[in-house]
A and B are shown apart, each in its own frame.
Chain A
């Protein structure tokens, strides 16, 4: 009997890639896609890398595919935007070895800046989309994705969502089958996408999508489940599970391929059920196409385009009731916060003191936007901090941004921040960029990047030196400062923001959650010296609380002994000592 294992959706996707014989995998970390690469790397047969960004990852996978092997790129939904340039065109060129892009959407915005639907990108890029609904399907659908990629000469998007990627289910393990490497033959008409060649490929792509739509009715991943035909659902992915939970007797057309849609199959299902619902999270992608064929359905007029669905949401719409038996209590919110000992808190406490505004970026440090730090004023996308600051300066002049900085993490800087900094130099901008260098990609769970000196596969490699990289761009004023040296930081920020030139401050201290980090110290309050001023509480360290008498308490199990609170105390009422 085959071995059964409980697997995270992302782990099952990785397993599927392994069993499909994938040889090259490239990715940039991003919730909820990160664990795909973290599991891929466990298979020695696969070369796996963290690329500096998703565009590069996609192109690495494309190169591997053109050379004749099966290749994978994985990323979160907004990463697909970064990778969309190569994606739209490789759709025309097609593949050598099978090529799959796993795109992880985030309905409900658990850890993202928007709630975009990758299916819309896929429609525009003319790329088929396959959507599994649990871990077992995730593994099997990956294998099917590689089959159709090669059969129809197309990249394939496997779409997952946070709920699928971060759910575990039972998976039956299979063997790895490695297709024979295809011998390389030069074929510029297919792989050199200049106008004359691309014109011809566009004709092919449109014909390919038509063929996929027609053949879709016979794909095993699309199936009609006929039960009670008074009510029918067209659904896919995780929402399929909600339908099964809330309406176990209803008929369901479960789509494994959500683009292009199998038209005949849908028309047949619609003709057999009395009332037809389309139950899809986010955008009405299926609904709009089905309506365009003149089929009457109930869709987004009943179900929201926002957030995650649930069986209760469906019960509410269909029966006007859900499974609740009690009201939810009104309790204080517990939003995510920077960890105790986080170096970002130290840097932000200085910026807050100096009343500096920050153009922010994507990472844990985005939490610097909320109380009590309130430092970050803008966050758009990866790398945007530096370019938005530059745009402000060009719009309103050098003096306008004298109380502004850009803040960006080391991994985000290597992702796309570096391009923006080049632009500042080239276009003679001014302004101060603070690179919060914590030696890792923190928010996604500590992945290496080009400036950490280690690869995804664990090789020790020369780290790109951020200081020298900035200097090489011709930036005169570059400083490296210990993120916990408050005095030096304050002085540097005051000094650099005054300049009519580009300047960079690199604040250095490793992420507290980084493996191998040791914390020999702990902070302890000395209540007899405490004047109850609250200065130590201001940066919002979760290890600190106020006692009933106004003095402070420090939770020693949480404290990492960073000493920030001690430095902020003017009365020596906190000791930072050996544990």
Chain B
């Protein structure tokens, strides 16, 4: 199989690592070769964070390069815009319709771009969800990233039950049920 390239982007502390681990777990279970690349350390402190996931029959480099991503999973609007150029021509953006102002905006050094989703729609396939609101309805706002992952799962060909099983094995035991419900909410809307 040709290598599939997924990117997960967001703000440090939003749980990109947990999401990429679920994704990594499912690709191994499905029998693929896989490489993931993560960001640890200082950049995690509220900074822009990107994780790459590549899977296929044989994967060489662990990073996704500009113009190569099949799916861009963004936990925040500005981060979707920042990394949109990593997408292939027909790549898909799955974005949490949520705004977190970077310190450069808070201090007035820069302005937060308006109408990001509309702008992205002009040249990309965009699937947006206010996952914070949806997660709150489910009873735990922290499960928002798994809702976004569920929405992204529509663009990957893994079995639903495999997803649920991998989620159960990856997230903390107490949160299995809420995360599975969150995933299904994303997958089916």
B175 to chain A, nearest CB (A): 16
* CA distance in complex: A444, B59 (Å): 29
Give every chain A residue within 8 A of B48 (Cβ-Cβ): 333-334
Q: How far is the CA of A110 from the CA of B45 in the complex (A)?
A: 12
- Is A329 a contact of B82 with CB atoms below 8 Å? yes
CB distance from A378 to the nearest CB of B (A): 18
Q: Does A242 make an interface contact (CB < 8 A)? A: yes
Q: A310-B63, A335-B104, A557-B141 are in contact. Are A168 and B24 (CB under 8 A)?
A: yes
Task: Pick from B31-39, B147-155, B156-164, B178-186 the stretch touching chain A.
Answer: B31-39
Q: Which residues 38-63 of B sit at the A interface, judged by CB distance below 8 A?
A: 38-48, 59-63
B148 to chain A, nearest CB (A): 16
Centre residue among B48, B66, B110 by max chain A CB count within 10 A: B66
Distance between Cα atoms of A339 and B47 in the complex (Å):
10
Tell me whether A334 and B61 are in contact (CB under 8 A). Answer: no
Closest to A239 in B: B61
Nearest Cβ on chain B to A557's Cβ, whole angstroms: 6
Contacts of A242 on B, CB cut-off 8 Å?
A: 60-61
A325 CB-CB contact with B under 8 Å: yes
Would A166 and B37 be within 8 Å (CB), given that A244-B61, A335-B104, A339-B45 are in contact? yes
Q: In the complex, which of the residues A34, A170, A333, A443 contacts B104, with contact meaning CB atoms closer than 8 Å?
A: A333
CB pair B109–A337 under 8 Å, yes or no, is: no
A309 to chain B, nearest CB (A): 10
Among A167, A238, A310, the one with the most B-chain Cβ atoms within 10 Å of its Cβ is A167
Binds B, one of A189-197, A289-297, A364-372: A364-372
Give Cα distance in the complex from A344 to B40, angstroms: 20
The yes or no answer to A213 lying at the interface (CB within 8 A) is no
Of B62, B100, B112, which is within 8 A of A134 by CB?
A: B62
Residue with the highest number of chain B CB atoms closer than 10 Å, among A4, A34, A328:
A328
B18 contacts the other chain (Cβ, under 8 Å)? no
Check if A364 sits within 8 Å of B106, measured CB to CB: no
CB pair A6–B28 under 8 Å, yes or no, is yes
CB distance from A342 to the nearest CB of B (A): 9
A311 at the B interface (CB under 8 A) = yes
**A325 pairs with B106, CB closer than 8 A:** no
Whether A332 is near chain B, meaning CB under 8 Å from some CB there, is yes
Our pick among B59, B67, B106 for the contact of A322 (Cβ within 8 Å) is B67
Q: How far does the Cβ of B31 sit from chain A's closest Cβ, in whole Å?
A: 10
Given the known interface contacts A6-B28, A134-B62, the answer about A111 and B106 at a Cβ–Cβ threshold of 8 Å is no
Inter-subunit contact B102/A326 (CB<8 Å): no
B-contact 0/1 string along A159-193, CB 8 Å cutoff: 00001001111100000000000000000000000
Choose among B46, B82, B85, B132 the residue that contacts A336 (Cβ–Cβ < 8 A).
Answer: B46
Whether B15 is near chain A, meaning CB under 8 Å from some CB there, is: no
Residue A379 CB within 8 A of the other chain: no
- Chain A, interface SS category: loop
B165 interface contact, C-beta 8 A:
no
Q: Mark B87-121, 1 if CB is under 8 A from A, else 0.
A: 11100000000001111111101111100000000
Per the 8 Å Cβ criterion, residues 1-34 of B in contact with A are 11-13, 24-25, 28, 33-34
Nearest chain B CB to A319 CB, angstrom units: 14
Q: Which residues does chain B contribute within 8 Å of A6, judged by CB atoms?
A: 24-25, 28, 34, 36
B65 within 8 A of A: yes
Decide if B65 touches A542 in the complex (CB within 8 Å). no
A166 touches B45 (CB 8 A): no
Q: How many A-B residue pairs have CB under 8 A?
A: 176
Report the minimal beta-carbon distance from B55 to chain A, rounded to whole angstroms. 10
Cα distance A4–B31 when bound, in Å?
A: 10
Interface residues of B in 111-141 (CB under 8 A from A): 111-113, 123, 132, 141
Contact A110 B67 (CB under 8 A): no
Q: Which of B61, B103, B113 contacts A241 (CB 8 A)?
A: B61
* A35 CA to B44 CA, complexed, in Å: 15
Please name all residues of chain A whose beta carbon is closer than 8 Å to the beta carbon of B34 when the two chains form the complex.
Answer: 6, 168-170
| B38 partner, pick from A5, A167, A537, beta carbons under 8 A | A167
A544, B101: Cα distance in complex, Å: 9
| Contact pattern, A 296-338, Cβ under 8 Å of B = 1, otherwise 0 | 0000000000000011100000000011111111011111111
Nearest B residue to A538 via CB reads: B107
Among B45, B66, B84, the one with the most A-chain Cβ atoms within 10 Å of its Cβ is: B45
Closest A residue by C-beta to B132: A557
A8–B36 Cα distance when bound, in Å, is 8
Interface membership of B187, Cβ < 8 A: no
Residue of B nearest to A366 (CB): B42
Known A312-B65, A323-B68; contact A339-B13, beta-carbon cutoff 8 A: yes
**Closest residue of chain A to B108, judged by CB?**
A546
Instruction: Tell whether A324 pairs with B66 under 8 Å between CB atoms, given A31-B42, A339-B46.
Output: yes
CB distance B47 to A167 under 8 Å? no
Closest to B82 in A: A331
| Min CB–CB distance B138 → chain A (angstroms) | 15
From the candidates A35, A167, A323, name the one contacting B35 in the complex (CB within 8 A): A167
Q: Does A445 contact B (CB under 8 A)?
A: yes
A296 shortest CB reach to chain B, Å: 27
Bound: A557/B141 CA distance, A: 8
Residues of A within 8 A of B35 (CB): 134, 167-169
Minimum distance in angstroms from A225 CB to a CB of chain B: 12
B103→A337 contact, CB < 8 A? yes
B61 touches A311 (CB 8 A): yes
Interface centre among A333, A444, A537, A544 (most CB of B within 10 A): A333
5 closest Cβ pairs, A-B complex:
A111-B41, A31-B41, A336-B47, A332-B110, A334-B102
Q: List 5 A-B contacts (CB under 8 A).
A: A32-B41, A322-B67, A334-B79, A336-B47, A542-B46
B: residues with CB less than 8 A from A are 11-13, 24-25, 28, 33-48, 59-63, 65-68, 78-79, 81-82, 84-85, 87-89, 100-107, 109-113, 123, 132, 141
Q: A367-B42, A542-B100 are in contact. List 17 more A-B contacts (CB 8 A).
A: A31-B41, A32-B41, A167-B36, A241-B60, A322-B65, A323-B68, A324-B67, A326-B67, A328-B66, A329-B82, A331-B81, A332-B111, A334-B82, A337-B103, A445-B40, A537-B106, A540-B106
